[in-house]
């Protein structure tokens, strides 16, 4: 087969799938809002997703995306459901069945089971309005008439792409409604590259007794002792009430020593750098690193939200680099 012919086939497939997504976009209406409302109102039950064949594979992706974005969910194998696993569906649950035809034999038992219990809501995702699934759903989403990309219009391609996109639309709609943030997302992703990218300075900062905090009236002689004992190469300088007013690094101390012949009795408030750079503890470590590079500094004071005058931690550039965020 010629190279150009293969390229054309690939481009045609992608174009079919692009068209399927355009059609899907145009079908988003009240039926979508209804199913979102049912999912959001499921407070005490579970979101259970099932499907057969390619639709089942898509269902597993739906479940994974929902769970990782704040809507707990699990996938139920339709065949296993008919052999005992139906017991996983209980009062208060929402069952989402995905079937292009809406007539899959394996799903009929689940449809009958949910129909007998008024406290179980059934959401049907199908392209056939006259199907068993559509007619028996509490909320049904009618997929558009989509032409498959493969020969004879029989291989699930464009239709499953549309199903996949619909699942993402549902998950993100629920996520945004719940105000699910990147910090919530991080809780569900404690490992891997996503977790690393979402690390904050609050995750990496030095706190408590390890902090090199010193009063502004302390003289240079004692300041040098403190910076040597803490071994962090910096001093956070505060007023009597604990407000941060200055910052000094060991490099600053060396320059002061060179400038003044008798510097040991100098008070820190006379030589300190005022208004040190400080960031909220929820600042992403990557953003903090960028800030340090732009300011040409190696350490940042960390404060809690809306309390920039109170330093609660210190993060060094090396701490961020060692966390492998970049």
How buried is 114 (Cβ within 10 angstroms: 0-12 exposed, 13-18 middle, 19+ buried)? buried
Domain boundary among the residues 180, 213, 229 is at 180
Domain boundary among the residues 145, 180, 215 is at 180
**Per-residue confidence (pLDDT) for residue 190, from 0 to 100:** 67
Q: Which two tokens stand for residue 261?
A: 């012949």
Asked, for residue 225, whether it belongs to a domain, the answer is yes
Is residue 172 domain-shared with residue 260, that is, in the same domain?
Answer: no
From CA 235, how far away is CA 248, in angstroms rounded? 5
Helix (H), strand (E) at residue 169: helix 158-177
Strand order in the sheet with 121-126: 73-75, 47-51, 94-98, 121-126, 139-142
Task: Give the torsion sign (CA, 37, 40, 41, 45).
Answer: positive
From CA 66, how far away is CA 12, in angstroms rounded? 31
- Cα angle vertex 219, ends 216, 225, to 5°? 105
What does the pLDDT profile of the chain (326 residues) look like in tens digits?
A: 688 889 999 999 999 999 999 999 999 999 999 999 999 999 989 999 999 999 999 999 999 999 989 899 999 998 898 888 999 999 999 999 999 999 998 899 999 999 998 899 999 999 999 999 999 999 999 999 999 998 888 889 999 999 999 999 999 999 999 998 777 777 776 666 777 778 889 999 999 989 999 999 999 888 888 888 888 889 999 999 999 999 998 888 888 888 887 888 888 888 888 989 999 999 999 899 999 999 999 899 999 988 888 999 999 988 888 887 65
Is residue 33 domain-shared with residue 174, that is, in the same domain?
Answer: yes
Is residue 294 domain-shared with residue 162, that is, in the same domain?
Answer: no
Range of the domain at 76: 3-180
From CA 278, how far away is CA 288, in angstroms rounded? 10
Asked, for residue 185, whether it belongs to a domain, the answer is no
**Per-residue confidence (pLDDT) for residue 130, from 0 to 100:** 95
Helix (H), strand (E) at residue 167: helix 158-177
Is residue 27 domain-shared with residue 166, that is, in the same domain?
Answer: yes
Is residue 256 domain-shared with residue 123, that is, in the same domain?
Answer: no
Is residue 95 domain-shared with residue 162, that is, in the same domain?
Answer: yes
Q: Which two tokens stand for residue 321?
A: 């680099």
What CATH number did the domain enclosing 82 receive? 3.40.50.10490
Asked, for residue 237, whether it belongs to a domain, the answer is yes
Is residue 172 domain-shared with residue 69, that is, in the same domain?
Answer: yes
**Per-residue confidence (pLDDT) for residue 231, from 0 to 100:** 87
DSSP 231: T
Is residue 136 domain-shared with residue 273, that is, in the same domain?
Answer: no
DSSP 44: S
Report the domain count for the chain: 2
Radius of gyration of the chain (CA): 30
Asked, for residue 193, whether it belongs to a domain, the answer is no
Domain boundary among the residues 151, 180, 209 is at 180
**Per-residue confidence (pLDDT) for residue 223, from 0 to 100:** 86
Asked, for residue 110, whether it belongs to a domain, the answer is yes
What CATH number did the domain enclosing 290 receive? 3.10.580.10
**Per-residue confidence (pLDDT) for residue 189, from 0 to 100:** 67
* Residue 184 CB neighbours (<10 A): 14
* Residue 302 CB neighbours (<10 A): 25
Asked, for residue 196, whether it belongs to a domain, the answer is no
Q: Which of 261, 263, 279 is nearest to 271 (CA)?
A: 263
Is residue 37 domain-shared with residue 172, that is, in the same domain?
Answer: yes
Contact (Cβ atoms closer than 8 angstroms) between residue 315 and residue 282 = no
From CA 98, how far away is CA 133, in angstroms rounded? 9
Is residue 217 domain-shared with residue 176, that is, in the same domain?
Answer: no
Q: Please, where are the H alpha helices in 116-267?
A: 132-136, 158-177, 182-187, 192-197, 201-204, 220-230, 250-259
**Per-residue confidence (pLDDT) for residue 103, from 0 to 100:** 93
Asked, for residue 63, whether it belongs to a domain, the answer is yes
């Amino acid at each position: 087969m010629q190279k150009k012919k293969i390229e054309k086939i690939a481009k045609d497939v992608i174009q079919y799938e692009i068209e399927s997504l355009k059609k899907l976009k145009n079908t988003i209406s009240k039926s979508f809002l209804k199913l979102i409302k049912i999912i959001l109102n499921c407070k005490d039950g579970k979101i259970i997703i099932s499907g057969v064949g390619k639709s089942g594979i898509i269902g597993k992706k739906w479940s994974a995306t929902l769970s990782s974005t704040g809507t707990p969910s699990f996938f139920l194998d339709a065949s296993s459901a008919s052999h005992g696993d139906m017991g996983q569906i209980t009062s208060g649950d929402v069952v989402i069945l995905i079937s292009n035809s809406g007539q899959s034999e394996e799903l009929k038992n689940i449809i009958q089971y949910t129909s007998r219990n008024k406290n179980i809501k059934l959401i049907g995702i199908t392209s056939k309005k006259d199907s068993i699934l559509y007619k028996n759903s509490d909320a049904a989403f009618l997929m558009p008439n989509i032409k498959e990309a493969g020969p004879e219009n029989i291989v699930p391609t464009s239709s499953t792409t549309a199903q996949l996109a619909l699942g993402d639309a549902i998950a993100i709609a629920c996520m945004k409604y719940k105000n699910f943030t990147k910090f919530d997302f991080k809780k569900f992703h404690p490992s891997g590259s996503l977790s690393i990218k979402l690390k904050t300075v609050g995750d990496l900062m030095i706190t408590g007794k390890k902090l090199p905090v010193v009063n502004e009236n302390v003289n240079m002689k004692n300041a040098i002792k403190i910076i040597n004992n803490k071994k962090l190469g910096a001093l956070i300088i505060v007023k009597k009430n604990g407000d941060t007013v200055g910052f000094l690094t060991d490099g600053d101390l060396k320059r002061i020593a060179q400038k003044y012949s008798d510097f040991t009795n100098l008070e820190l408030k006379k030589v300190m750098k005022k208004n040190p750079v400080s960031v909220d503890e929820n600042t992403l470590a990557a953003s903090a690193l960028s800030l340090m590079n732009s300011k040409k500094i190696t350490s940042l004071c960390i404060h809690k939200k809306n309390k920039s005058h109170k330093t609660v931690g210190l993060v060094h550039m090396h701490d961020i680099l060692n966390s492998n965020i970049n």
